[in-house]
């Protein structure tokens, strides 16, 4: 970090930074004119870093790291273009699948069901996610080192992450509901339909609950995207706990949704090979 301290010394009168520099130099064998030594001497960098972490704000530390990396001519990593390409490609594939589904239903005059409209709603959510990815996450830092970002970049990126979390929970819920309503159309048995309706109700409540949790798990709400700098007051529930609990319940629900259609295969007047093929189709569809 010494290169950054030297650079800051030209523009800042911050005594804390000068103190870190003085302390590091006193215990270092690197001369201030030896750039290679200063940039690659691990004990020196660790000494300055520890000093800065204990006395500087988050913004000052990031600025210091930025100047250090620039001073030492370390490469700047940027994977944002690859991420943008991937996001657009996945959205395009989803659009083709949904478009093909609606085209077939319209051309064959099969009629559109609740499952079709739900999958369309999920696709609209995917489009919104892609827009926030391309117009929000990419220009504000995704795929780049955090030390290359401005405070505004970090705040805007975190805001986009917040919105994407809400959209994610909505997408998963709509896709599961679409599959469940599809099962309702093809399975006439009374017991299976009761189980499907129960699963639909559970999935709806589960999805709505986590959408609300995603929206309101910080107080105030904007603390989610402002807390990174340590300059704002507020509190949030444990994001990891929210993610793990959602994933656990979602996986269990996926397995249950796989058991439901497979349990009906025994009633079909088909060979075992065809039943296996249909079972695999349900398995892939559930995934």
Task: Give residue-wise pLDDT tens across range 254-269.
Answer: 999 988 888 877 766 6
pLDDT value of position 1: 47
- 7 has a pLDDT exceeding 80: no
Kindly list the distances between the CA atom of residue 124 and the CA atoms of 116, 119, 131, 222, in Å, as whole numbers in the listed order.
Answer: 12, 9, 11, 25
**CA distance linking residue 37 with residue 21, whole number of Å:** 15
The residue-averaged pLDDT of 170-195 equals 91
- 176 has a pLDDT exceeding 90: yes
- 197 has a pLDDT exceeding 90: yes
Higher pLDDT, 42 or 18: 42
**CA distance linking residue 147 with residue 49, whole number of Å:** 14
pLDDT (tens digit per residue) in 36-64 = 777 777 777 777 777 777 777 888 778 77
Task: Please give the mean pLDDT across all residues of the chain.
Answer: 84
Place of tokens 């996945």: 90
pLDDT value of position 284: 65
pLDDT value of position 278: 65
* Buried b / exposed e along 95-127 (16+ C-beta atoms within 10 A): eeebeebbeeeeeeeeeeeebbebbbbbbebbe
- In a 3-state reduction of DSSP, which class is residue 144? strand
pLDDT value of position 126: 94
- Segment (H or E) for 269: none
Give 161-165's long-range contacts (Cβ < 8 A, gap of 24+): 161/137, 161/225, 162/214, 162/224, 162/225, 163/132, 163/136, 164/129, 164/132, 164/133, 164/137, 165/214
Min mean pLDDT across 21-25, 178-182, 185-189 is at 21-25
Residue ranges per domain, the chain?
Answer: 2-71, 80-286
């Amino acid at each position: 970090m010494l290169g950054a301290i030297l650079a800051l010394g030209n523009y800042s009168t911050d005594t804390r930074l000068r103190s870190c520099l003085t302390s590091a130099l006193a215990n270092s064998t690197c001369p201030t004119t030896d750039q290679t030594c200063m940039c690659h001497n691990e004990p020196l960098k660790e000494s300055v870093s520890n000093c800065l972490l204990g006395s500087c704000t988050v913004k000052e530390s990031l600025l210091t790291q930025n100047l250090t990396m620039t001073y030492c001519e370390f490469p700047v990593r940027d994977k944002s273009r690859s991420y943008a390409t991937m996001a657009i490609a996945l959205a395009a594939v989803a659009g083709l699948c949904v478009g093909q589904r609606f085209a077939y239903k319209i051309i064959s005059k099969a009629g559109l069901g609740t499952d079709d409209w739900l999958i369309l709603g999920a696709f609209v959510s995917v489009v919104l996610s892609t827009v926030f990815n391309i117009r929000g996450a990419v220009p504000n830092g995704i795929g780049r080192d955090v030390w290359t970002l401005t405070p505004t970049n970090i705040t805007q990126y975190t805001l986009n992450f917040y919105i994407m979390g809400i959209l994610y929970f909505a997408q998963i819920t709509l896709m599961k509901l679409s599959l469940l309503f599809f099962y309702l159309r093809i399975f006439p048995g009374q017991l299976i339909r009761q189980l499907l309706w129960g699963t639909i109700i559970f999935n709806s409540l589960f999805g709505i609950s986590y959408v609300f949790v995603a929206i309101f798990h910080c107080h105030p709400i904007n603390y989610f995207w402002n807390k990174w700098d340590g300059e704002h007051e507020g509190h949030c529930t444990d994001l990891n706990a929210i993610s793990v609990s959602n994933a656990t319940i979602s996986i269990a629900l996926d397995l249950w949704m796989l058991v439901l259609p497979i349990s009906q295969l025994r009633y079909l007047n088909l060979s075992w090979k065809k039943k296996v093929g249909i079972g695999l189709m349900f398995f892939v569809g559930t995934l």
